[in-house]
Amino acid sequence: MFNSIKKITSKYTGLLVRMDDISENMNWNFMDKCESLFDKYNIKPLLGVIPINQDLELLKYPKNPKFWERVVNWQKKGWEITMHGCTHVYTQKSDKKDIFNYGGHSEFYGLDYSEQLNKIKVGLAEFKRRKIDVRSFFAPNHVYDNNTLKALKDTGIKIIIDGYGLFPYYKFDLLFIPQLFYKEILLPFGIQSTQIHLNYWDDKYFFNFKDFINKNNSKIVDLNYILNLGKSNFLKNTINYSVEKTLKALRKFR
C-alpha cells in the first residue's frame, strides 16, 4: 500500500518550466545559458513567445535577427511554443475584476470580443506563417476576462498556462495549468508551472536557478506529460477549489 501511495504521489508531483517574454529583444546571454542547462538534462520548457513585440520596455534589450529561426529549432527539440499575448502592450486596467482577481494592467481585459479575437488571430498568424504549431496561451500579467477565454476557444486554443490550485484542471472547456509562485518552488505534491523572466535576472539569480535545476531536474515535466495525466478527479478538484478560494481572499487585501 505504501508503495502504491508513493507511486501516485510521484506521478502527480512535478514542475513545468514556463518562461515569459520570449521575443526578438531579450536577455540572450541568459537564454543561451538556460538552453545549455535544459539540453544537459533533456528538459523541455514551455516558452511564452510574444509574436509581435511592441512593448517599449522589452524593446530596450538586444535584438536577435535570427529569433524566429531559434523558435523553429526549439520546437524541433520538443520545446513547447506558447503564445504570450500578441503585442505585450497594456491598454486596460482590470481593478481585480479579471478571471483570477489579479488586478493590474492588461493587453486583453475589457476589450470587446471582436477586438480580442482579432488580437489572438493576428498573433497566431505570425506563428502559422513560420510553420510553428501553437496550442496554448498565457496572457501578459495573468489578466483575462470571459471574452478572452471565448476568443481563445474560438481560435482553437484550449490550454492556458495560468490558474489556481495544486493540479491542472478543466474549467470553461479549457485546461488550466496553475502558476502560483514568482520563484522556482517545487511543492511536495502537485503540478504547477514556474514564471521565469530572464530579463530581470543577474548572475546570482542564474546561479540559483541552475542549482535548483541540478537538484530537481528529475521532477521537471513537459506539457505532454501533463496532458497524458487525464482529467481531474474529485480529490484534485476539491484541493484546487480550496486553494482558489484562499488565494482570491488574500488578493482582495493585496
Residues 108-145: tens digit of each pLDDT: 999 999 999 999 999 999 999 999 999 999 999 999 99
Q: What is the pLDDT of residue 150?
A: 98
Residues 145-172, mean pLDDT to the nearest whole number? 95
Helices (DSSP H) in 43-112: which residue ranges?
Answer: 67-76
Q: Can you tell me the distance from the alpha carbon of 10 to that of 229, in angstroms, rounded to the nearest whole number?
A: 12
25-49 pLDDT tens trace? 999 999 999 999 999 999 999 999 9
How much of the chain, in percent, has pLDDT values that exceed 90?
73
Burial class (CB in 10 A: 0-12, 13-18, 19+), 252: exposed
**Whether pLDDT at 183 is above 90:** no
Q: What is the pLDDT of residue 249?
A: 47
**Whether pLDDT at 148 is above 90:** yes
**Whether pLDDT at 254 is above 60:** no
Q: Which band of pLDDT confidence, cut at 50, 70 and 90, is reported for residue 250?
A: very low
Q: What is the pLDDT of residue 104?
A: 84
Q: What is the pLDDT of residue 94?
A: 82
Q: Which band of pLDDT confidence, cut at 50, 70 and 90, is reported for residue 54?
A: very high
What is the pTM for the complete model shown? Answer: 0.89
Contact by Cβ (8 Å): 67, 50: no
* Residue found under cell 543577474: 202
Mean pLDDT of the chain: 89
Q: Can you tell me the distance from the alpha carbon of 119 to that of 52, in angstroms, rounded to the nearest whole number?
A: 10
**Whether pLDDT at 245 is above 80:** no
- The amino acid occupying position 94 is S
Q: Which band of pLDDT confidence, cut at 50, 70 and 90, is reported for residue 164?
A: confident
Q: Which band of pLDDT confidence, cut at 50, 70 and 90, is reported for residue 100?
A: confident
Q: What is the pLDDT of residue 109?
A: 94
Residues 177-184, mean pLDDT to the nearest whole number? 87
Least confident window among 100-109, 138-147, 159-168 = 100-109
Of 11 and 175, more confident: 175
Q: Which band of pLDDT confidence, cut at 50, 70 and 90, is reported for residue 2?
A: very low
Residue 82, φ and ψ in degrees, nearest 5:
-120, 145
Q: What is the enclosing helix (H) or strand (E) of 5?
A: helix 2-11
Contact by Cβ (8 Å): 127, 83: yes
> How far is it between the farthest Cα atoms of the chain?
56
